[in-house]
Structure 1
Amino acid sequence: MSLSYSQPSRLEVLIRDRDISKHDFVFYSDRLIHLVAEHGLGHLPFTEKQITTPTGSIYTGVDFCKKLCGVSIIRSGESMENALRACCKGIKIGKILIHRDGDDGKQLIYEKLPNDIRECHVLLLDPSLLQLSFLPGNSANQAIELLIQKGVPESHIIFLNLISAPEGIHCVCKRFPSLKIVTSEINVALNKEFRVIPGMGEFGDRYFGTDD
């Protein structure tokens, strides 16, 4: 198991504010998603590469693996797609839709994944690893199970999210010990209603403007 996260920043403060405008919420969320995506890329395998600079000098650096794709958990995961595309030009992005309320979230509604996904390192996109994230059948666990069934090695999956609950992290990493999680912040805990504290509300509704 590999977990990477940063200390709370001004961006987390802004997107947690219940009084922030939708425009500002999207703007600052996009900035934070971009940072998480860049950090996630740093966990990919790489090879040494030499290039010639404009001065005629030889520069030795690194090159990421060639086979890479993103997979977003519909709907809130789609908010992370543009930032990933900005980091990885021309990246393929698949989709997974899981009915969160039906049959303990085990109902797979839709999936469209690249044909060569078994050969790829996969960046799984979902802003939150939070509510009910420690229960069997939640959307994150189901999405990871689907990727493994499609032939993706567990160690080739990097789960990118913005905020995580400790219970969710422990559950996912216990079930998938070779998975990597990259998050911007770990919240305090879940309360008796299984709501994360301090939390930031329903990310997808706030990002796409469908909250009350």
Structure 2
Amino acid sequence: EFHPNIIVLENKSLLNLFTRVRDQTTPPAAFEFYAKRLMTILAEETIADLPLATSKTTVFTPCAEFKGEEVDVDKICAVSIVRAGDSLLGCVRALLPGVSVGKILIQRDETVPEKPAKLFYCKLPKGIEDKQVILCDPMLATGGSAAKAIESLIAVGVPVSSIIFSNVVCCPEGLKYLGGLYPEVKIVTASIDEGLNEEKYIVPGLGDYGDRFFNTV
């Protein structure tokens, strides 16, 4: 109801992992451990939904023929929104050895109440316009950073339909904003939370993901 092109994970193990990472008393080392487990599940589900990079194949077990699918890593580019996005990018790279990588640095302007997103740095690999792009950022709050990142990808020729946005936690406000701008961008998320508070943080959320993951709280 919040976005026309979204997949919300349904996995029983997520509840335990979310309980750990949402708990403000979870120490940094434990947060990183449980967050990586959660993001690996998310990354697996995201990779499983890349039609342009997936092809049918047949292999042979010791007993019989098996018809399956395989993912071509050369047709994929993983792009992180620095810094929190680097945590999810690490899980994607672990599952796709050799995948090409891009980096986008976007920060919110904290001097104004609206906290608009500003682009500071963008480094994308050559040929990205011909690849399916996994955009990585654990949190989707207002949607400003994600929209700015998608804008940067489109500017270098990436088709909107080739972008899939992978995130751990999102909220209705961000989903509606992105859906209004880029309904063709598929979103894969592990949770849709209640909404934003006055400081534009997701509620119940889990605080500042990057600070907690990289132990800079």
SS of residue paired to 2:19: helix
1:58 to 65, 72, 77: 65
SS of residue paired to 1:151: coil
In 2: Cα distance, 1:59 partner to 1:99 partner: 47
Partner residue in 2 for 1:11: 17
Partner residue in 2 for 1:95: 103
Partner residue in 1 for 2:118: 107
Partner residue in 2 for 1:77: 85
CA deviation string 1:32-52 (max 9, x = no partner): 000011111121113211123
In 2: Cα distance, 1:84 partner to 1:164 partner: 19
1:206 to 194, 199, 212: 212
Matched AA of 1:35: I
**Any stretches of 5+ residues in structure 1 without a counterpart?**
none
Distance 1:115 1:164, change over 3 A: same
Partner residue in 2 for 1:124: 135
State the 1:113 CA deviation.
Answer: 0.8
In 2: Cα distance, 1:51 partner to 1:195 partner: 48
Residue identity (%): 39
State the 1:74 CA deviation.
Answer: 0.5
SS of residue paired to 2:106: strand
Matched positions, count: 205
Q: TM-score, normalised by structure 1?
A: 0.90
Matched AA of 1:21: P
SS of residue paired to 1:199: coil
SS of residue paired to 2:161: helix
State the 1:105 CA deviation.
Answer: 4.0
In 1: Cα distance, 2:118 partner to 2:139 partner: 19
In 1: Cα distance, 2:24 partner to 2:107 partner: 27
RMSD: 1.7
Q: Is the 8 A contact 2:9 2:42 kept in 1?
A: no
Q: Is the 8 A contact 2:9 2:188 kept in 1?
A: no
